[in-house]
Homo-oligomer: A and B are copies of this chain.
């Protein structure tokens, strides 16, 4: 045994690893980074240097790599409680190999120059697609690379995993904020605001909007109405419900997804601009809905658009979410050193009450570009609320508080040094 082990050690050549954050950031994506980094440091026989892409995959294409070994253990521990993308993230989707061979060849060129044998890509749907494509270039372009996706998306729309790191914390923020704002509206409704509209993220899937429903402890409590992207907007039914709520309770609290749509598929509010992925850039459905109510029913309203505040709100992160974010980062490295390839660590729920979960690998090919929406049985028959089944699914994901340390009344978030790795290539690459 002892001899065999020594032989194996001698023949194993550690290769370097590349980690990148991708797409919209979250309150806990850095916790996944901490999981990747701290775990990689435990496998020196497999993983040599760990590099991070500055501004995500763009850092790989432009050979702008961050030397993670220059960061102190304290900084890496601090990533666990620091929101947003510490290494920089990017909205940059690689096209298919046949459509844009140059990008893949460039990636290989950079990876080869820095002896990168592991690729950890921390992102959502589009990113898992990119990770899957990169996992195929080893074969296509003759460069061996172990590719692991690390799930992350506040939208909670990745398939095969029970939930997505990042979502639990947004869900908690929205549920807490809805409960708090509802108390505010309720206490002033007699002489002032009767309608409160909270616009939340979720372009195609209504998971975040659904989380607003957790604010209610029992039937009739706020939010009285949730508007999901999955349910075509029925204006007369909506107005009737608003009126009924105001007449019986004195007020009406509405959580509306930015992706709420008319029956013809048109968004309730469309800014008319598109992001790098060609998706319509939304924002403003909150005021649209509020104005609609005022015009038809005349009620005084207020509206809020939490926007980035919701996904950056590390101060009120879910403890379960932080733990899962770290766990998928850790598992990604463990899979890689065990020789797994083209997989993503998924969160598997083994019990809801008490809540239990484990991490298991799922193939990237099965994850890429599949969107998991809120199932119809999670939405009440009238389309305006969440069912007991939805509540059972969501409740464990917001459990527990995981407060960051504070200095002078503010969270003491860390910043990386971000030391650049010396470039080895003479060539530039425009992205």
Contact = CB atoms under 8 A, between A and B. Distances in A.
Contacts of A181: 307-309, 312
Copy tally for this chain in the complex stands at 2
B307 A303 contact: yes
Interface string A278-318: 00010110110000000000001011111111011111101
B312 A183 contact: yes
Contact of A308 (B21, B196, B395): B196
Given A187-B88, A312-B184, A276 B192 contact: yes
Given A177-B313, A303-B305, A309-B177, A410 B184 contact: no
Contact of A413 (B183, B312, B316): B183
Nearest to A57: B191
A175 B408 CA distance: 11
A395 B24 CA distance: 31
Interface stretch (A141-149, A396-404, A422-430): A396-404
A176 B315 contact: yes
Contact of A401 (B275, B307, B403): B403
B306 A309 contact: yes
Interface string A72-113: 000000000011111111111000000000000000000000
A343 interface: no
Contact of A84 (B21, B187, B275): B187
Given A191-B55, A303-B307, A410-B176, A83 B183 contact: yes
A210 interface: no
A370 interface: no
A311 B184 CA distance: 8
Contacts of A190: 55, 58, 88, 90
B413 A409 contact: no
A308 to B, nearest CB: 4
Contacts of A25: 184, 187-188
Most chain B beta carbons < 10 A, residue from A89, A192, A283: A192
B316 A308 contact: no
Contacts of A372: none
Interface in A8-41: 21, 24-25, 27
A48 to B, nearest CB: 26
A308 B185 contact: yes
A408 B89 CA distance: 32
Contacts of A91: 188, 191-192
A21 B184 CA distance: 12
Contacts of A431: 191
A260 interface: no
A323 to B, nearest CB: 13
A46 B413 CA distance: 51
A395 B27 CA distance: 25
A75 B25 CA distance: 40
Contact of A89 (B84, B90, B188, B196): B188
Nearest to A197: B307
B187 A89 contact: yes
Contacts of A408: 395, 398-399
Contacts of A85: 184, 187-188
Given A176-B315, A302-B308, A401-B403, A188 B24 contact: yes
Most chain B beta carbons < 10 A, residue from A89, A196, A308: A308
Contacts of A347: none
A246 interface: no
Contacts of A56: 191
Interface string A166-187: 0000001001110111011111
Given A84-B184, A180-B411, A398-B409, 10 more contacts: A25-B187, A91-B192, A175-B410, A180-B313, A181-B309, A181-B312, A183-B312, A184-B311, A191-B276, A398-B410
5 contacts: A58-B190, A90-B191, A91-B192, A172-B409, A176-B410
6 closest A-B pairs by beta carbon, nearest first, are: A85-B187, A84-B183, A398-B409, A304-B307, A180-B312, A55-B190
